[in-house]
Structure formats: C-alpha cells, structure tokens
A = this chain, B = another copy of it.
Amino acid sequence: MREITGNDLADIASGAAILGTGGGGDPYIGRLLAQSAVREHGAVPLVPTADLDDDAVVLPVAMMGAPTVMVEKLPSTEQVGLAARTLAGYLGRELTHIACAEAGGVNSLIPVVAAAQLGLPLVDADGMGRAFPELQMVLPTLYGIRATPMSIADEKGNRSVLDTVDNHWAERLARSATIDMGCSAMISNYAMSGAQARESLVPGTLSLCAELGALVRRARETHEDPVACVASRLRGRKLFSGKVVDVSRRTVTGFARGAARLSGTDEDTGREMVLRFQNEHLVAEAEGAVLASVPDLICTLDHESGDAVTTEALRYGQRVSVLAAPADPRWHTPEGIALAGPRYFGYDLDPIGVAG
C-alpha cells in the first residue's frame, strides 16, 4: 500500500480497532472522518519508516479522552488541523510527515484526516503497536523523546501548548485540559525527526491494520472463523468465548474505567471471565487467575463477525471472543513494563505473557 484511498478506509478502521484492544475509539467514527477528508483532499501517500530522511519533521496526532464521550461528541475536522498547526507554529518548523501515536478505530484514522488536510504524507507506523490510555505510554518515551511541546485543541477553538519537564507531567496537565474541554480533545505531540521515528515507532502498523481488516472481511465472506484468523496473524491465542452478562463503566478522571463480566459459551460453558479496562483492556481474569495482562494485547471481537468490540460499546448479551496477542517486544523490557505494565495500573502482578 503506497497510498491510502477511500477504498482502504473500512479495512484500516476495522483492523485498527482490533489493535486498539478495546480503546482507541470507535472505528465507524474514525472511518467517517477519514472518508470525508480523503473525499475532499484526495488520497494520502503512505511512507514506510525506512524511507524517512534523518531530518524529516514527523508529527503524531491523536484524540485524547474517554471513548465513552467520543462517540457522542464527534471531533470536527477543523479541530484536527488546529492541533497540528498550533504545534507547528510553536515549534517554528515546517512539518514533513504526519504519524499515528497509537493504533485504534479513531486514532489510526485521525492522522489520515490531518495528513489529507495538510497535504502531507503519513508514516506507516505508530507509537505503540496497540492503544494505551495515557500519553506517556508510547515507545518514543523509552527512547527519551519528549511528549512536549504538545498542543491540545477542542471543537470550540480553544487550544493550548504544553511544555513540561517530563512525559508524566505532560499526561497530567493534558488530562486536566481534556476534561475541561469536555472529556475529548485533539492533541499533537512527540514531534520527532525522521531518524527518531525510524528508531522508536512500530513500523508497518497501518499496513497491518489494513491486512487485519481484510482478513476479517474475507473470513466472513468465506465462512471461515475470523477470530482464529486474527489470532493466527497476531501470533496470539483465543482466551475465552462468552456472553457479556454485566458491564460496569464510569467515565471518571477523563477515562472510561470499568469491568465486564462474561459467562462462558461453547468450550468455556460454565466458566466466567472478567475484563478490567481503563479505555483499553488491562487484565483478563478467569476463575480468579489472570490469563493475560498489559502490556500484551487483550482484544474483544464479536463472536460472529470478528469485528472488534470497543470497551464503550460492550453491552449485555453480546457474544464475544477474547483474544490475547503479544505486544511489541520493547514493551516487555523492564522500562516498558514500568511504563505500562500491570503494576502501573494498580494490579500487583508481573505481566502475564501470551507469546503464541
């Protein structure tokens, strides 16, 4: 894939929502926003990280906030451009490329909107290989790349530039601003050089999203098991099949926090699973034991269609398959685990690996 056209967006959104591990935003909204931008401005060139010049100026853009709010308060496309332009102005640099901070139904597509609007190519990569809830949780943090200067913009036209002493302070100040702005906002941060992008990003994420989306679509068409296809492609495994029997979810401190209880079906009949999430799924427990945890991916897919079910969309009665897959190996270093492992989120356990 050398460019992203309108025809690619459905697959990218569908695959991105799988890598979003329950977070990263609703793929339907992401697709609509990108479709409108590509229709207006044309296809977006996609650039492999390997092709980036050392001195390229790469700017990731993303939505920040609670996915529960994003589905009701849609971003405006002006807001996307405003965040990127505000940061570019503060930096006093000419941007050469847009990038994705994370994979997700909205957050893989917002950068398509920004790239289309600004007439810039998009880097085929992202900062995590998945979605995580807090903004310091990107691989560039492990490479000492600063989150700030970062911009944050709302749909009313309010904007702010943060310049902080570390990435945790960036998260803290940006989260408060996001809450004030109505619990969802557009951000642009981790401005980096081409050399830094080659080193710190996860390469090929948008291509992988498109591939996963196509895989699910074709499995459906050929009556194969889409969940098995996804598990195989991600070198992961299915943890559980079940029906959602309870969801507790609160939008607090700027996040969608909660837990879903599943009652087993098929081979899991008689068993129970609990999924705990903060925007993204954090741990999957069955019979009191943790079967998978961050930093590895825990994905909820619709049992029939294989489509990802985001945490804000989990509903009583849904039949889902829970799948776990290994994260980028850099997340399993001591620094990666300190940044986004179970203990950071308050679970007193070592990460439960799921290497396939």
- B-side contacts of A179, CB under 8 Å: 176
Instruction: Select one of B90, B157, B169, B176 contacting A161, CB under 8 A.
Output: B90
Question: What 20 new A-B contacts, CB under 8 Å, besides A90-B90, A156-B165, A158-B162?
Answer: A90-B161, A156-B169, A157-B164, A157-B165, A158-B163, A158-B165, A159-B163, A160-B160, A160-B161, A160-B162, A160-B163, A160-B173, A161-B161, A161-B163, A172-B180, A173-B180, A176-B176, A176-B177, A176-B179, A176-B180
Interface positions of A from 191 to 229, Cβ below 8 Å from B: none
> 8 tightest CB-CB pairs across the interface, nearest first?
A176-B176, A161-B161, A158-B164, A157-B165, A160-B162, A159-B163, A158-B169, A176-B180
Instruction: Report if A141 contacts B (CB, 8 A).
Output: no
Cβ contacts A to B, 8 pairs, < 8 Å: A86-B163, A157-B164, A158-B164, A158-B173, A159-B163, A160-B162, A172-B180, A176-B179
| This protein's copies in its complex | 2
Return A189 CB to nearest CB of chain B, in Å: 13
Query: Residue on B with the closest CB to A165?
Result: B157
A177 touches B173 (CB 8 A): yes
Return A120 CB to nearest CB of chain B, in Å: 23
Q: Mark A129-171, 1 if CB is under 8 A from B, else 0.
A: 0000000000000000000000000001111111111000100
- B-side contacts of A163, CB under 8 Å: 86, 158-161
Q: Give Cα A156–Cα B172 distance, bound, in whole angstroms.
A: 14
Return A39 CB to nearest CB of chain B, in Å: 29
Return A81 CB to nearest CB of chain B, in Å: 15
